[in-house]
Amino acid sequence: MTAKKKKIDVLLVGSGGREHALALAIAKSPRLNTLYAAPGNAGMAAVATCVDIGAEDISALVTFAVEKSIGLVVVGPEAPLVAGLADKLEAAGILVFGPKANAAALEGSKALMKQLCSDYDIPTAAWRLFDEPDNAKEYIYSKGAPIVIKVDGLAAGKGVFVCKTLNEAFAAVDHIMTERSFGDAGNEIVIEQCMVGPEVSYFAFVDGETVVPIGSAQDHKTAHDGDHGPNTGGMGAYSPTPLVTPELEAEILETMIKPTARGLVRDGRPYRGVLFAGIILTDEGPKLLEYNVRFGDPECQVLMARLTSDLLVALEACANGSLSDVEVTFSNDHALVVVMAAKGYPGSYAKGDPIGGLMAAGAIDGVTVVHAGTKTDGNATIANGGRVLGLTGIGPDLKTARDRAYQAVDALDWSGGFCRTDIGWRALS
């Protein structure tokens, strides 16, 4: 008889909706002893002990993990991974879910990601790298518009410019390289062919060359209905997307995810964590737009709503190299999340508004309320960020999931918030 594994203490790094969704899933695991969140948020405090350590305070996170004999650290956001948090934790003898810095560079450097595609025949847009604005503009002039310009480094999702005219493209180069709007992240830029088609998100656990599929989702980037307004971190998502058929999923795995995992091992950058592929479905077939080295937000919320297996077991196996021994399963249900944001987001917005109706929203059948930018003020929950809440509905079909999510929106009492009213429109139209 196999000996029963000892329960472990887990440290979850981050404070957004993605991390709350992960916390809710981890808290269900029989493997869990105590869950800590650094820094966490008002919602996460219901299932985790929140500690006042920032997600990018690497030295304090490592010290805490060592002092508490943490069995697994789960890193939510990308910035601490790119900065080497996994390396420091591993050096201290702490198991960590999330890639080391040389593999996290897959998101930290657009140029590295594109070079990997070139080296291992992964389908993506034609591209060039530039470190000088005049040469970049000469290339743009030779190629014409539309054209895409990307900041090479991390830019909080704001470093991609789809330019419809040459003047827009020249202005984007100046914005990045002359005005230094993104600091050192914009020392180099990737200029690439503009591809046309619907975009989808695909996720897989990766442990070296072992790949375990998670599945697909589709998010809504712009702030307002009809895909209008400025880009945001994401105003809603649903999973699965009907665009990713079983045949297309097999193609994505064979032409993108698996070659990436093998290529990173060969390049001395073995990857352990979740790999998030942003993919565009062109007339020539699926092509890779970008890789992210963490779960998407809000895609994580809908994936976790559909998860039926033990998340902590999968995260631990991914971290210790035993992913091939684990089965990851999801329900056939559909999930849809609506993000409630503070009015003015993604521009300037107010903080401190009290939010009512949270218990009523959470009591609706098939609904999960996930906190992102919230904090507690006495007995009240108040808004403390741009994207503040995620209301996820789950059901046997997408319409039921959507109806439940919007029923939860209607249950809230928060005059300072807004949301899109058309999440899921692509699949339901």
- Going by C-alpha positions, the residue among 168, 189, 173 that lies closest to residue 137 is 173
Q: Quote the CA–CA distance of 407 and 367 in Å, as a whole number.
A: 9
Task: State in Å, rounded, how far the first CA of the chain is from the last one.
Answer: 54
State residue 295 phi and psi, 5-degree precision. -65, 150
Kindly state the percentage of the chain with pLDDT values over 90: 96
- 11 membership: H or E segment, kind and range: strand 8-14
306-331: burial string, b at 16+ Cβ within 10 Å, e else:
bbeebbbbbbbbbbeeebeebebebe
pLDDT confidence band for 155 (50 / 70 / 90): confident
Q: pLDDT (tens digit, 9 = 90+) per residue, 87-116? A: 999 999 999 999 999 999 999 999 999 999
**Shared domain check, 79 and 137:** no
Q: pLDDT (tens digit, 9 = 90+) per residue, 224-252? A: 999 999 989 999 999 999 999 999 999 99
**Shared domain check, 317 and 209:** yes
**Residue whose entry in the numeric block shows the structure tokens 């029923």:** 407
Identify the burial level of 429 via C-beta atoms within 10 angstroms of its C-beta, where 0-12 means exposed, 13-18 middle and 19 or more buried: exposed
CATH code at 229?
3.30.470.20
Q: Say what the pLDDT of residue 429 is.
A: 82
The domain boundary residue, chosen from 325, 345, 369: 325
Q: Say what the pLDDT of residue 157 is.
A: 72
Angle at 169 between CA 166 and CA 174, to 5 degrees: 125
Is the preceding omega at residue 242 within 30 degrees of 0, hence cis?
no
Provide the residue count of the chain: 429
Q: Quote the CA–CA distance of 68 and 86 in Å, as a whole number.
A: 17
Virtual torsion, Cα 344, 299, 164, 346, nearest 10 deg = 10
Q: Quote the CA–CA distance of 61 and 64 in Å, as a whole number.
A: 5
Q: How far is CA 251 from the centre of its chain?
A: 22
Asked whether residue 3 is domain-assigned, the answer is: no
**Shared domain check, 208 and 266:** yes
**Residue whose entry in the numeric block shows the structure tokens 């929106």:** 409
Alpha carbon separation from 355 to 145, 342, 382 (Å, rounded): 45, 11, 6
**Shared domain check, 247 and 145:** no
**Shared domain check, 264 and 228:** yes
How many helices (H) and strands (E) in the chain? 15, 22
Q: Say what the pLDDT of residue 417 is.
A: 97
**Shared domain check, 362 and 421:** yes
Q: Which amino acid is at 63?
A: T
**Shared domain check, 263 and 208:** yes
Is the preceding omega at residue 146 within 30 degrees of 0, hence cis?
yes
Identify the burial level of 162 via C-beta atoms within 10 angstroms of its C-beta, where 0-12 means exposed, 13-18 middle and 19 or more buried: middle
Kindly tell me if the per-residue pLDDT of 1 is higher than 80. no
Q: What is the mean pLDDT of the chain?
A: 96
Kindly tell me if the per-residue pLDDT of 141 is higher than 90. yes
**Shared domain check, 232 and 346:** no
Asked whether residue 92 is domain-assigned, the answer is: yes
The domain boundary residue, chosen from 274, 293, 325: 325
**Shared domain check, 300 and 263:** yes
Alpha carbon separation from 105 to 83, 140, 177, 214, 335 (Å, rounded): 9, 26, 21, 22, 31
**Shared domain check, 211 and 183:** no
**Helix, strand, coil proportions of the chain in percent (round to 5)?**
35, 30, 35
The domain boundary residue, chosen from 277, 306, 325: 325
Q: Quote the CA–CA distance of 266 and 208 in Å, as a whole number.
A: 10
**Shared domain check, 316 and 394:** no
Asked whether residue 153 is domain-assigned, the answer is: yes
Asked whether residue 121 is domain-assigned, the answer is: no
Asked whether residue 107 is domain-assigned, the answer is: no
Q: pLDDT (tens digit, 9 = 90+) per residue, 5-44? A: 789 999 999 999 999 999 999 999 999 999 999 999 999 9
Strand ranges (E), 232-313 = 236-239, 272-282, 285-292
Q: Say what the pLDDT of residue 2 is.
A: 45
Angle at 256 between CA 295 and CA 18, to 5 degrees: 5
- Going by C-alpha positions, the residue among 171, 154, 204, 188 that lies closest to residue 314 is 204
Q: Quote the CA–CA distance of 34 and 49 in Å, as a whole number.
A: 8
Q: Say what the pLDDT of residue 4 is.
A: 67
**Shared domain check, 255 and 307:** yes
Q: pLDDT (tens digit, 9 = 90+) per residue, 248-287? A: 999 999 999 999 999 999 999 999 999 999 999 999 999 9
The total of other beta-carbon atoms located within 10 Å of residue 251's CB is 15
Asked whether residue 118 is domain-assigned, the answer is: no
Kindly tell me if the per-residue pLDDT of 80 is higher than 70. yes
Q: pLDDT (tens digit, 9 = 90+) per residue, 185-196? A: 999 999 999 999
CATH code at 143?
3.30.1490.20
Instruction: For residue 383, give its domain range.
Output: 334-428
Average pLDDT over residues 108-128: 95
* Count of the separate structural domains present in the chain: 4
- Going by C-alpha positions, the residue among 82, 78, 187 that lies closest to residue 129 is 187
Asked whether residue 344 is domain-assigned, the answer is: yes
Kindly state the percentage of the chain with pLDDT values over 70: 99
Q: Say what the pLDDT of residue 231 is.
A: 86
CATH code at 65?
3.40.50.20
- 141 membership: H or E segment, kind and range: helix 133-143
Asked whether residue 1 is domain-assigned, the answer is: no
Pairing status of strand 96-97 against strand 72-75:
parallel
Q: Quote the CA–CA distance of 296 and 229 in Å, as a whole number.
A: 21
